[in-house]
Structure 1
Amino acid sequence: MMLKISQLHHLLLATLMSLSLAETVHAEQTATLTIAVNGIRHQKGEICFRVFANEEGFPLSDTSEVQSGCAKITGNSVKKVFSGLKPGAYAVAVVDDQNGDRKLNTDFFGIPKEGFGISKNPTVSIQTGTPKFRDASVAVSKNTTLNIVMKYSLDP
């Protein structure tokens, strides 16, 4: 009788361990994206970040991003970390929000009045127009760091 209880105990333990291992194997991996913004000219306001997983709304929409947030400006660079992302392609848009409305303000012609930045630091000019998701997206896996340089005017 003692042998059977011991065997049952081992069988139960092995079953529990295999269930635990199966759950670990099937657990969805997540990625962390750290965004460093450099070249900030103002020492007031916030840098607002929008992380997009596809072209829908990129880069100006404030409703189609997968994650967003703002960080108070404390110097000429700011970092923000976004966790829990599924590994994949992402593009980021940032704004030097000087008036607290958390969006990029433009003039009558659509030219930015506030600083802005896009992942991969593409050329942004009247000729090139607004960058496309495919041109600004980067592969994000486990821990990815992205450097964005703030622009305060369109490129020539």
Structure 2
Amino acid sequence: MSIGGTISISPAAHAGKSSLTVTIDGVNNKNGQVCLSLFSQSQGFPNRQDRAVAVKCIQSGDVSRGITFGNLEPGSYAVALLHDANSDGKINTGFLGIPKEGFGFSRNPQVSNGPPSFQDTTIVVVGQSTTQIRASYL
């Protein structure tokens, strides 16, 4: 099937569910866990895990194998990463709300005054998609 003459999507890929595999780079130690929150809309992004489509965590030492979200509807998604080094289930912050733990976002946007917008981090997921997130530490 051709859409607008520029993008082709096979009928099999269009009819089925999609998946997103996230590879993770830059985690600076093996303490705690790395959690990814997958969002399909801006509401709650990036730190309201209760608003996420899915949340998956793995031990920090296992990040080299990546994390896959399956059974997704094709569409736009954003991913927020937290290196929860002390495994307390939240991002710990210091003075002025500056994160003490590692974080990251799909599309790896520059972070200056607060988290990036949902629009700045969205990726299109169709079929078997992949993306890479680099952990940042302040």
Aligned residues: 126
Q: Could you say which residue in structure 2 is the equivalent of 1:61?
A: 48
TM-score w.r.t. length of structure 1: 0.75
* Higher Cα Rg, which structure: 1
User: What is the DSSP-based 3-state SS (H/G/I as helix, E as strand, rest coil) of the residue aligned with 1:139?
Assistant: strand
Q: Tell me, yes or no, if structure 1 residue 41 matches structure 2 residue 28.
A: yes
Q: Could you say which residue in structure 2 is the equivalent of 1:87?
A: 74
User: What is the DSSP-based 3-state SS (H/G/I as helix, E as strand, rest coil) of the residue aligned with 1:134?
Assistant: helix
More strand by share: 2
TM-score w.r.t. length of structure 2: 0.85
Q: Tell me how far apart the structure 2 counterparts of residues 125 and 68 of structure 1 sit (CA, whole Å).
A: 25
Q: Deviations over 1:56-78 (max 9, x none)?
A: 10001121000111011226745
Where does structure 1 lack aligned partners over 5 or more consecutive residues? 1-24
Q: Could you say which residue in structure 2 is the equivalent of 1:132?
A: 117
Q: Could you say which residue in structure 1 is the equivalent of 2:95?
A: 108
- Residue 102 of structure 1 deviates from its aligned partner by 2.1
Q: Aligned Cα RMSD in Å? A: 1.8
Specify which structure has the bigger relative contact order, considering alpha-carbon pairs within 8 angstroms and separated by 6 or more residues.
2
Identity of aligned residues (%): 38
Q: Tell me how far apart the structure 2 counterparts of residues 94 and 33 of structure 1 sit (CA, whole Å).
A: 14
Where does structure 2 lack aligned partners over 5 or more consecutive residues? 1-11
Distance 1:99-1:71 versus aligned 2 partners, 3 A rule: same
